[in-house]
Chains A and B, each alone.
Chain A
Amino acid sequence: MTRLQVIDTERCVGCQLCMYACQRRFGKGGIGSAAIFVRSRGGMGRGFRVVVCRACSDPPCAAVCPVDALRIRKGGGVILQPNKCIGCGHCQEACTIGAIFWDDRANKPVICVHCGYCANFCPHGVIALVKEGSKDVIK
């Protein structure tokens, strides 16, 4: 299994191409339902944070879901089953790193599925799709 890895946030220039790429997977523009987010650390002079699911092997978001809408993904992270989701938002609160986003129109969480589409459009080596289990990577 592969998963998306933030390799080095210090290389991030804040272009947000990853956010637009995530949205574009569905053939749309903008960023309304992107599952990755780039924000400054309090002013751009200080650099950026790349916020995206880190594929926990024992994810707290799934643990707090009252309707089992978050299935554990093989290789870490979760898969949202939208038909089950009631939009309670507990998962969002449970995620310590804030990597669960919200689709206001659908009133459902947006969570990275680790497809790696965004990494194809990161020109600066900030994010990459890595093989789960490679020993030289620390999440």
Chain B
Amino acid sequence: MLLNDPLAKVLYIDLSRRSFWIEYRQDLFEKYLGGVGVASMLLKEECPEGIDPFDPKNPIIFAVGPLVGLFPMASKTVAMFKSPLTGNLGESHAGGRSAASIRLAGYGAIVIKGASDIPIYLTIYNDKVRFHDGRAIWGTRSTVAGRALREKEPGSGIRCIMRIGVAGERLVRYACVITETFRHFGRLGLGAVFGSKKLKAIVIAGNNTLQVKKGKIYKEAYKEIFKRILSLSALKKYHDLGTPVNILPLNKIKALPTRNLKTAFFEEAEKISGEHFAENHLGRRLACTHCPIACIHLAALRQPYKDEPYFYKTTFISYDYELIYALGSMLGISDSVGILRLLDEIEILGLDAISTGVVLAWATEAFEKGLITEKETELRPKWGDYESYINMVRKIVTQPNDFYKTLALGVDEAAKRYGGEEFALAFGKNEMPGYHTGPGSYLGFLTGARHSHLDSAGYSFDQKYLGKEFTSKDLAIALFKEESYRQILCSLVICLFARSVYDCQTVLRLLDIAGFTMNEKTLRQLGEEILKNKYQFKIQEGFSFKNLRIPKRILETISPHGQLKEDFLREAINVYQQLLEGKIFLD
């Protein structure tokens, strides 16, 4: 890396002692680049073996990479922690202004340790770190906290405001952290870790200038990347309709999980499609810092007050594919206004929308089957009835009885206690994303280090190989290679939408401009090494491939690849494990 690149600086903050210090960790960044590569090493260093995720010793680690502030779409921040949802590796990525503000404040990573005795929030302005009394914003909606800090704190335009809602404060295991109102560290419960530390919010801003090896080459390379990004049709579709562009195609191939995946085809999909949302609700589009695509789609929802005629409120709500799946088809809701209202409630409380939708879907089916009754639910959950779901979401946060306390632990725990494991749709304890595309998708959820569709994009494999023959080994190898290379992209914190622009050769060229010398072989090896590091942590914390639960439901509901077989998935898991353990070599 370049001499004096502030990327090497790691900011350590101890909330218990209200102290902070900076360490120069060229060693980490030289070797692991940044993002997930560096964060997983810091997690290894900082997180003691076997601790409770709410132990003050559980670190929150944020990391960015060398291309942030230099090239477009290097716009993500990686957060790592021990997940309260899975009791294992916690990793979540978000965009917004987060990555640029950390990098331009002069850091490559931030490590937050300890816990405060009273609610606090942190501000980080370049080298000034301050602890502030957060009692006045504790217990507030995520939107209220955001507004208060926006007015009280400086840095408009260049700052990032991360905050939690009451879900995080009440330790709902899938509470999220919201940044810039519309982006999230959504999955695996970072919000609850914030809550356990009494940390309501973090404001970060900076306006550094960054050096490169040769200015002229930098400018030329930038122009080329910029042109390539704008000419990609895949990216244009995310600009036009956003990720919900996928609702109709996935429904058409019968891969859109509907009513807790009792079926994978939603007969009213057109009413919740990207096209429908764009035509009826789209009010504004936004971009993360340094991204020309602007995939963030905001619905302008106008709602009348019931107590007074001609009195309306208009709110902006960001929507994406996963949210429409989890709160739409999965709950049988075809009223797009209903989906937006449910989503708005989830935003205000600060929950992960995917997990919440899957939990509610399980509860509805468990209620239908009589595993739980109104005694537990206090109301009658019913497919499509979004009013009931809005009330249930509130109860997950307020936790009025044992049932809702259990729902707040995630669907895996809920099914363990009340039954219905065969239709509790979590993998590695993480609630499933919206792709019933075939074996690739599920192998990805099962084996991906964060049990996310983004780990190895199995859904993409499924769609590519529709109607073609492949073995469990072919599948496992393809996903292992994909997940390995994604470790590089996620170490450079490049948005995965830009993955086809940032191919290996391009990445090497750009890294050279940022002062990193590598070749294709070392880069690919590094990807595998980072993945293995993450798995070391997982194994240390009790993860086992053998104990992976495969809910029966995914085998019953016909997929675009026909009926899925458990044996096939188990074989593929086995191959994946051997690849990770280095027992199978790839050329």
Contacts and interface: CB of A to CB of B under 8 A. Distances in A.
A121 B292 CA distance: 9
Given A17-B292, A40-B156, A121-B226, A28 B72 contact: no
A43 B294 contact: no
B181 A45 contact: yes
B230 A123 contact: yes
Interface residues of B, number: 43
Contacts of B339: none
B380 to A, nearest CB: 34
B9 to A, nearest CB: 15
B156 A14 contact: no
Nearest to A21: B222
Given A29-B210, A30-B69, A32-B209, A15 B215 contact: no
B302 to A, nearest CB: 14
Contacts of B147: 43
Given A24-B219, A24-B222, A30 B316 contact: no
Nearest to B226: A121
A20 B290 contact: yes
A16 B157 CA distance: 9
Interface in B280-321: 284-292, 294, 296, 298, 315-316
Contact of B150 (A30, A33, A42): A42
Contact of B284 (A17, A37, A47): A47
Interface in A1-47: 13-17, 20, 23-24, 26-33, 37-40, 42-45, 47
B294 A37 contact: no
A16 B289 contact: yes
B156 A39 contact: yes
Nearest to B75: A15
Contacts of A74: none
Interface residues of A, number: 28
Interface string B55-81: 000000000000001101000000000
Contacts of B564: none
A30 B210 contact: yes
B287 A14 contact: yes
A123 B292 contact: yes
A33 to B, nearest CB: 6
A24 B225 CA distance: 14
Given A15-B289, A15-B292, A20-B290, A27 B212 contact: yes
A84 interface: no
B285 A13 contact: yes
Given A16-B289, A121-B226, A29 B158 contact: no
A49 to B, nearest CB: 9
B216 interface: yes
B269 to A, nearest CB: 28
Interface in A55-86: none
A45 B146 CA distance: 12
Interface in B209-257: 209-212, 214-216, 218-219, 222, 226, 230
A39 to B, nearest CB: 3
A24 B103 CA distance: 16
A40 B69 CA distance: 19
Interface in B135-155: 146-147, 150
A29 B157 contact: no
A44 B207 contact: no
B69 A29 contact: yes
Contacts of B182: 44-45
Find the residue from A24, A31, A37, A40 having the highest chain B CB count within 10 A.
Answer: A31
B212 A29 contact: yes
Contacts of B226: 121
A15 B294 contact: yes
B331 to A, nearest CB: 25
Contacts of B575: none
A45 B313 CA distance: 14
A131 interface: no
Nearest to A10: B284
Given A31-B104, A39-B157, A123-B292, A20 B69 contact: yes
29 contacts: A13-B285, A13-B296, A14-B286, A14-B287, A15-B290, A15-B291, A16-B100, A16-B289, A17-B290, A24-B218, A27-B214, A27-B215, A28-B211, A29-B69, A29-B70, A29-B210, A29-B218, A30-B69, A30-B208, A31-B158, A31-B209, A37-B157, A42-B150, A45-B181, A45-B182, A45-B315, A47-B284, A121-B226, A121-B292
Given A28-B212, A44-B181, 7 more contacts: A13-B285, A15-B290, A43-B147, A44-B286, A45-B315, A121-B226, A123-B230
Considering the complex of A and B, which 8 residue pairs feature the smallest CB-CB distances, nearest first?
A: A27-B215, A39-B157, A32-B209, A29-B210, A45-B316, A15-B287, A13-B294, A29-B70
Interface of B: 69-70, 72, 100, 103-104, 146-147, 150, 156-158, 180-182, 207-212, 214-216, 218-219, 222, 226, 230, 284-292, 294, 296, 298, 315-316
